[in-house]
Amino acid sequence: MPELPEVEVSRLGISPHMLKQTVKQVRVHQKQLRWPVPDDVYQLEGKVINEISRRAKYLMISVDSGSVILHLGMSGNLRVVDNSVPLKKHDHVEIELENGKVLRLNDPRRFGACLWQASGEVHTSLLKLGPEPLTDDFDADYLYEKSRQKQTAIKQFLMDNNVVVGVGNIYANESLFKAGIHPKRAAGKIAKKRYHELVPIIKQTLADAIEQGGTTLKDFAQTDGKPGYFAQKLLVYGRKGEPCVNCKEPLMEIRQGQRSTVYCKNCQK
């Protein structure tokens, strides 16, 4: 699943081609995505794109009357191509611009979304989201206070979008390893000092992934079609049985919330 860095890379990739451009036409080839694509998305037509922003894993393409909200789901990706380029299988939504470019949402598994948010309103999908992890609103004091009395395992706590958005499975694995925290430890049992160590690590891990162009995942490619390169630097995720980079003991794997967790039993306490 594309995580926050991959979505941010997509935002950075499409923005130069779309900002301040006029939308010529919106074409919906498959309405049945995770939720039905509303007819409101056609409000983009004839409008100038004022902003392309991200909230959690949602991208928002905004005009004066509102925003199209895109989510990549499990297998989605965005490409900006010339409008003469033939459609690919699973190209479900197109936003064609007056400059001859077209944004295409490709989503083989159809778990992604294309929604509409009217100007001045907040879509229900965005209402209960926690702070962005790369902002000042997300700091150690906030996370410590949020964790009090929580018996939830720290890894699942970090992946709760009501606590903080965008710290998905890969980056929770990596951050906890770097901080030396066992992924099954109860969030409420972790001392404030360790949260002061963990939060900067989370921020740096996500920032590094964005800089590297997003993690190389089977279903993810940047808008130019090139995969990200951050996977080459992953320390634990996807490395079950391989030696720990610190102590050389084999890395362990467990399942938490139906997701893979890889950790070092010696280095993480």
Give the residue numbers marked as catalytic. 2-3, 57, 259
Burial 168-201 (b: 16+ CB within 10 A, else e): bbbbbbbbbbbbbbbbebebeebeeebbeebbeb
Are 33 and 81 in contact by the 8 Å Cβ rule? The answer is no
Torsion of CA 14, 18, 24, 26, to 10 degrees: 30
Q: Is 17 part of any known ligand binding site?
A: no
Q: Using DSSP, state whether 192 is helix, strand or coil.
A: helix
Nearest one of 2, 132, 8 to 59, comparing CA atoms: 8
The DSSP element (H or E) to which 40 belongs, if any, is none
Strands 252-256 and 259-263: antiparallel
DSSP state of 28: E
Q: Is 203 part of any known ligand binding site?
A: no
Q: What are phi and psi of 157, to 5 degrees?
A: -60, -45
d(CA 207, CA 260): 22
Q: Is 218 part of any known ligand binding site?
A: no
DSSP codes, 59-124: EEEEETTEEEEEE-TTT-EEEEEETTSPPPTTEEEEEEETTSEEEEEE-TT---EEEEEETT---G
Q: How many CB atoms lie within 10 A of CB 228?
A: 21
User: Which residues does the annotation place in the binding site for DNA?
Assistant: 90, 109, 150
User: Which residues does the annotation place in the binding site?
Assistant: 90, 109, 150
